[in-house]
Structure 1
Amino acid sequence: MIEPKNEVPASENHSRLLLDSYRRATGRDLLEPAPVQGKAAATLFRAPFVLLSHGTEADPVLNYGNAAALKLWEMTWDQFTGTPSRLTAEPMERSQREKLLIDAKEKGYSDGYYGIRISSVGRRFEIRNVLLWNVVDEQGIYRGQAAVFSEWTYV
């Protein structure tokens, strides 16, 4: 289901926005060393952690998932980026997820979250130590939210 390794469907601009907004929110770099100009999309897409983001719609739609995210949720890029982000969680997990999103929106970021998610084929997994942050551009305009994590277990 994952895109071929030689193809990077993400844009350089959105990838750079994710990197820069993470640094603004947390004071840390998402990748060390930070990728040089023109290499952010490829580096983030192939990173050894799960990274995803959604936009600002009333019912936010995923607009980014790296290769690890696509593999975990068992979707192609087109499927993933057409999915409302709330559908990545089972219905009973959505209220906890919503509290996390509100907390991060108010504070800039929230970390230490854990919860159960579900892949496109119904495989359940627990995500742990998730850091969620507001994606804000250089002008201070809110562009959505993103999450990163490296720990998950199938349940």
Structure 2
Amino acid sequence: MCPPAWSSDEEAAEWLYRQAPFGLLVHDTADDPVFVYANRTAQQRFEYTWQEFIALPSRLSAAPHDQPGRDSFIASVAANGYASGYRGLRRTRTGGRFWIEDVTMWNVTDADGVHHGQAAVFHSWSDA
């Protein structure tokens, strides 16, 4: 699905948050990174509200025994700027488990090259 043409940045941001058919997440650069953005698709899939999501350390999106694969993917992104093709097991707020698939993650930097975190988009998911 191609996104529609937008007449403004605000319109594009609104579509990305409310209507995008993929999940989009961003975490910050804290020692224990916390999510700073989750679009509605991600919120629904993970079963968190906006307020719950933006207070959640990103490591808690995966169960402890699923951390090694997540950590390896994040380290690859940190070293190379981005990575794609990832599939990982995640958990919902209520304890359900699901696969995020076709994931691409990249480092988020500003125009001056300052690193602000990492963003990930997942285009599909399935129940575990």
TM score, norm. by length of structure 1: 0.77
Alignment counterpart, residue 37 of structure 1, candidates 9, 13, 20: 9
Evaluate the alpha carbon distance shift between residue 37 and residue 72 of structure 1 in structure 2; reply closer, same or farther with a 3 A threshold.
same
SS of the aligned residue for 1:71 comes to helix
Structure with greater strand percent: 2
Evaluate the alpha carbon distance shift between residue 143 and residue 35 of structure 1 in structure 2; reply closer, same or farther with a 3 A threshold.
farther
Deviations 1:18-44 (A, max 9, x none): xxxxxxxxxxxx956477322232111
SS of the aligned residue for 1:39 comes to helix
**One-letter code aligned to 1:71:** Q
Mapped to 2, the partners of 1:45 and 1:54 lie a distance apart of: 16
Mapped to 1, the partners of 2:15 and 2:105 lie a distance apart of: 20
SS of the aligned residue for 2:21 comes to coil
Calculate the aligned-residue CA RMSD, in Å. Answer: 1.6
- Between 97-106 and 78-87, report the one with greater CA deviation: 97-106
Q: Counterpart in 2 of 1:18?
A: none
Q: Contact (CA 8 Å) 1:48, 1:150: kept in 2 or not? A: yes
Give structure 1 stretches of 5+ with no counterpart. Answer: 1-29
Deviations 1:96-140 (A, max 9, x none): 111111111111100000010000001100111100000111111
Mapped to 2, the partners of 1:37 and 1:119 lie a distance apart of: 31
SS of the aligned residue for 1:101 comes to helix
Mapped to 1, the partners of 2:61 and 2:77 lie a distance apart of: 18
Q: Counterpart in 1 of 2:60?
A: 87
TM score, norm. by length of structure 2: 0.92
Alignment counterpart, residue 21 of structure 2, candidates 42, 48, 58: 48
Q: Contact (CA 8 Å) 1:111, 1:130: kept in 2 or not? A: yes
- Matching of residue 138 in structure 1 with residue 95 in structure 2: no
Q: Contact (CA 8 Å) 1:62, 1:83: kept in 2 or not? A: yes
Mapped to 1, the partners of 2:96 and 2:31 lie a distance apart of: 27
Hey, which bits of structure 1, 4+ residues long, moved more than 4 A?
Answer: 30-35
- Matching of residue 74 in structure 1 with residue 31 in structure 2: no
Number of residues of Structure 1 aligned to a counterpart in Structure 2: 126
Q: Counterpart in 1 of 2:101?
A: 128
Q: Counterpart in 2 of 1:101?
A: 74
